[in-house]
Amino acid sequence: MKKLIFIFILTISTQISFAQDFDFIVAQDGSGDFEKVQDAIMAVPDFRNVPTYILIKSGKYKEKIVLPVSKRFVVLVGENVDETILTYDDFSSKHNRFGEEMGTTGSSSFFVFGDDFAAKNLTFENSSGPVGQAVAMRVTGDRAFFENCKFLGYQDTLYAQGEKSRQFYKDCYIEGTTDFIFGASTAVFENCEIYSKTGGQYITAASTIQTVPFGYVFINCKLTGDAPEESVYLGRPWRIFAKTVFINTEMGSHIHPKGWHNWNKEEAEKTAFYAEYGSFGEGSSVEDRASWSKQISKESIQDFSKESILAGADDWVPGKNLKKNLWQAKLQVTNEN
């Protein structure tokens, strides 16, 4: 009995010490520093050059959240990815308080403008339903890193927007219907599940600018969904220099045999870069793929490593400067409970 009591006291003590390592704690029950995520973000000193760690306890936070340009190196860690949900329900045709339509960008539930943002164990949601464009997450800032996060919505779920933005998504889940991963950013998705819901036909809609060497690159991902067989295209070009690549990706039967669509832009067949390497699964056959798409050679695949894609002039390595004990918060909380 004494041993059990000692273990219990030790566990509680460890949890308290662990929680104190965070700069701020957000909890809806009032047990933290803030009850709203936005309030915690605004408490971060402007243009800080070291990470600010914010622990978000389990709960559904209905907030329209903005991370301003001045809030750099903000790190959000949820207690549990399935129980820590940041959500809002705006959509493009909804009118704001001035009577104007919000548009796609304005519909975003979470805006990331600041550089060096990181998030783990969180669900980002647009809960408005199948009502047209409705963004769950818009990322404009550079060097954004998401791990073990979920992005939930229908059309236009994840807006990787910034033309000069580099983004890394690791072990994430992203769902939607039409163009639910879209925008001009350079983004690598590693070990992610990409789920196509019934009612959509396109996974990606990149708008890569001509001078940027990479758009979206999916590495070791899995394409799943409840969409009908052979009904979903891997991508279509929002802008004609769109770039999207799938590497060693498992593709379900919902993937259309042609793989790629030109969005009725014939010129894009000459300017877009749509390619695959090592695709497998029921929807992976290249026999009927669009003739203007490409299969990357074994000799060229080394050019598409996440390191070379994301490094840039500053040699960015996602997660390099994060404190391991805080970044792995979910594992610690789980073990202690």
CA–CA separation, 163 and 186 (whole Å): 8
Name the CA dihedral angle for 103, 216, 284, 264, rounded to a multiple of 10 degrees: 50
Task: Round to the nearest angstrom and report the end-to-end CA distance of the chain.
Answer: 19
Q: How far is CA 226 from CA 152, 158, 254, 288, in A?
A: 15, 19, 8, 22
Asked whether the beta carbons of 183 and 165 are under 8 A apart, the reply is no
DSSP line for 295-316: E--TTTGGGG-HHHHH-TTTT-
Q: How many helices (H) and strands (E) does the chain have?
A: 7, 26
CA 211 – CA 241 distance, rounded (Å) = 9
Instruction: Tell me, yes or no, if 179 is annotated catalytic.
Output: yes
Q: How many Cβ atoms are within 10 Å of 173's Cβ, its own excluded? A: 18
Q: Within 13 A of 166's CA, how many CA atoms are on the CB side?
A: 18
Q: How far apart are CA 112 and CA 331, in angstroms?
A: 26
Of 82, 115, 179, 226, which one is the catalytic site residue?
A: 179
Rounded Cα distance between 158 and 172, Å, is 12
* CA separation for the pair 295, 282 (Å, rounded): 17
Residues designated as active site: 179
